[in-house]
Amino acid sequence: MLPRSLSPSLSVSLLLALVTQTRAEGTREKLREIPEVRAVDGVTKLTLHAKDGLVAVGETTVQTLVYNDTYIPPTIRVSRGERIELTLVNEADENTNVHFHGMQVSPRDYGDSVWTMVPPGHEYTYKIDIPTYHEPGLYWHHAHAHQTSERLVMSGLAGSIIVEGVLEGWPSLASAGLRERHLVLRAMQRSWNGDLTWGIQTSGFPSIRTVNGQSNPEIDIRPGETQLWRVVNQASDHYFNIELGGMPFHIVACDGNPVPAMMTATRYLLAPAARVEILVTGGAVGETALTTRQIRTGPVGDGYSAMTLATLVCAGDANAAPLTLPMDRTADAAKNPLDMRTLSIDNKRDIVFDETDSDFRVNNHVFVGTRIDTSVPFGTVEKWKIINATGELHAFHIHQTDFQVISINGVEQPFTAHLDTANVPAFGSIEILLAFTEPCVLGKFVYHCHILEHEDGGMMASIEVYDPHAPAASVNKQSTDAHDTVRAANPNATGGAFSLTDSADLPRTQSDFTGLTLFTFGYTHCLGACPRTIASYQAVRALLTSDTTPLEFAFVSVDTSRDDALALAAYERESGLPLIAMRGSVEVTAETARTFGAAYEPQPAAADGTYRVKHSTDIYLVGAGGRILERFDLTTEPSVIAASIRQHAHEVPHRVAVVARAVEGGVR
């Protein structure tokens, strides 16, 4: 996202030198092989010291926060059934931790918990047992301390993990002894004065993008030789859209998940944190550039220029017996990925990614570590619709498990891979299937946008998977799931006169809304549908910022016993909109609901004081006199609503809205 002002530069402790190194013209470094640590007696042990170090980043020397005084630490290589014991020694001056990205491992005990923090001067040993059902492939670990993840990952607190067996579905390839290449893609961004920055800058700002910490290294291959390339995007925010000069390659795994059938491609878009494992075969003698294409993440998103990342040099004697690549996997169904569309769905949810001028949100809430946003019973399969209410890409990621994308913007998708990170189109949506059926998901973890600026800014939510036979005591009663909807009482209602009071206890009638208004009913403590309504409001507003279409935003509370003027005022502030929140007595609210055909059913408070209000969730486009021009349900795409508003705009006088800023936590 293009920020409203430039992000601050790295502090002096993180940037003590910025020195250009010269290299003899016409020469290139060979791609550096990253050292690896492997298991001894079933345990892979590694100690990482997080501290400031002077390291080479491409052709620049940077004093930054890294592991063991090196920009790219050793790769952990492990087999299923083994254990990783990673000791983090924090020699920095701030809290940090380690997240094992994409791995199907437990968040409990000494496992993969983002709530574990290692203070300065302390150490902690993560003990990660790799289950026998774990998918083989490329993973990585990185710092995940909330509100500092972007800076710590961009600085260098990250490393790779390989779980053996990615080619086992193609036995002829698994036994071929293919040469492996491990490519770690990273990016640091700097402003026009050369200073390194830790926030996303304007699109034209240059960035230091490297492969294994190098600028344009040379990768050698023989004609007819097939190599296995493991490619990981360890950048905190950058996308890489990689290609080999149009040369085809074959995809065998995505996000550490072997694919159901090998796929041929000439280009692959790697979101932040995404991985792809491909087979590359040398062609004719010569050089081919490995490039990232120019990228734009949306109309209000970020842009990155094209550049050469590395150069593939094909030379030497041709392979006398080139491999024939089997596209299909072994017929052994037990070793092949499951198409999750064959599973029965137990529950459906909508998850909305949105943003305000000051923060980023999930279902209209910035991340609060003490709150459980989503509670899931173990053993269930769910379908989630991830809705992007903004004008830029977001990269949805969930910890502990994988998912399958089944539709993009309503278009059904074939089964090509299980993923742990997926792009959600600007002002669009994806539908995914998640199976909460393996023991690794029991416990508390998170899902979020993996553009780490967005995650740190609040676009993250917590989830707890609990045993329904022994519910976890920490499940928060105010879950975002605590919402029931009912159908509209009268879908043919035409709207009309009403008399309510606003957050200042001043009278509000239909005559106060002489232009176009988006109008809805809800309640301020709703953590389910109402945040999605506000997200739709925000998305529509963003779509209309480029023109002068007049529009107001109204909200009528159906919680007559609890939503007082103070609650409405807080709701207005937190919405990030010029929202007008209104209320009435029981009788007045019921009459207003009848006028607009809305339905609601207040529920008795539970023993612990929590409550629900069942209500219909239509959004009304209202004209002068309170007349309903059109109605939309909660799943209507914001672009459809915006188009309708433009269509009706010529019928109303021009009005200028006053912008309200959100004050709830999170950062931009």
pLDDT digits (tens, 9 = 90+) for 459-471: 999 999 998 876 4
pLDDT of 482 reads: 41
Q: Is 109 exposed, middle or buried (0-12, 13-18, 19+ CB in 10 A)?
A: exposed
In a domain, 488, yes or no: no
pLDDT of 606 reads: 63
For residues 443 and 520, state if they share a domain. Answer: no
For residues 294 and 356, state if they share a domain. Answer: no
Work out the angle between the directed axes of helices 529-543 and 638-648 (0-180°, nearest 10): 50
Which of these, 17, 43, 23, 46, lies nearest to 34 by C-alpha position? 46
pLDDT of 191 reads: 63
Question: Are 272 and 451 in contact, with CB atoms under 8 Å apart?
Answer: yes
Domain span at residue 521? 499-651
For residues 443 and 394, state if they share a domain. Answer: yes
Number of domains, the chain:
3
Domain of 562, CATH number, reads 3.40.30.10
Kindly state the tokens that stand for 583. 């209320």
pLDDT of 609 reads: 59
pLDDT of 568 reads: 95
Question: Are 602 and 561 in contact, with CB atoms under 8 Å apart?
Answer: yes
Which of these, 561, 557, 574, 567, lies nearest to 519 by C-alpha position? 557
Cα separation, 292 vs 269, whole angstroms: 9
pLDDT of 24 reads: 42
For residues 547 and 419, state if they share a domain. Answer: no
3-state secondary structure of 608: coil
Question: Are 71 and 98 in contact, with CB atoms under 8 Å apart?
Answer: no
Q: Is 12 exposed, middle or buried (0-12, 13-18, 19+ CB in 10 A)?
A: exposed
Could you please report the per-residue DSSP string of 22-78?
P--TT--PBPPPPPEE--BTTEEEEEEEEEEEEEEETTEEEEEEEETTBSSPPEEEE
Work out the angle between the directed axes of helices 529-543 and 565-575 (0-180°, nearest 10): 50
For residues 426 and 386, state if they share a domain. Answer: yes
CA distances to 94, 443, 465, 468, 528 from 473, in Å: 31, 11, 12, 11, 22
Domain of 187, CATH number, reads 2.60.40.420
Q: What is the tens place of the pLDDT at every residue in 41-53?
A: 999 999 999 999 9
In a domain, 505, yes or no: yes
For residues 440 and 509, state if they share a domain. Answer: no
In a domain, 331, yes or no: no
pLDDT of 614 reads: 81
Cα separation, 364 vs 530, whole angstroms: 9
CA distances to 119, 397, 445 from 116, in Å: 10, 19, 11
For residues 301 and 393, state if they share a domain. Answer: no
Q: What is the tens place of the pLDDT at every residue in 401-411?
A: 999 999 999 99
pLDDT of 17 reads: 37
Give the end of a domain, one of 424, 442, 466. Answer: 466
Give the end of a domain, one of 314, 329, 360. Answer: 314
In a domain, 599, yes or no: yes
Amino acid residing at 643: A
For residues 278 and 137, state if they share a domain. Answer: yes
Which single residue is written with the structure tokens 């980043």?
Answer: 57
For residues 305 and 359, state if they share a domain. Answer: no
For residues 88 and 199, state if they share a domain. Answer: yes
In a domain, 333, yes or no: no
Question: Are 422 and 395 in contact, with CB atoms under 8 Å apart?
Answer: yes
For residues 225 and 273, state if they share a domain. Answer: yes
pLDDT of 19 reads: 35
Give the end of a domain, one of 267, 297, 314. Answer: 314
Q: Which residues of the chain have pLDDT under 50?
A: 1-25, 202-203, 471-483, 652-667
In terms of pTM, does the model score above 0.75?
no
Which DSSP letter does residue 337 get? -
For residues 31 and 79, state if they share a domain. Answer: yes
Cα separation, 455 vs 114, whole angstroms: 13
In a domain, 327, yes or no: no
In a domain, 668, yes or no: no
Q: What are phi and psi of 531, to 5 degrees?
A: -60, -35
In a domain, 474, yes or no: no
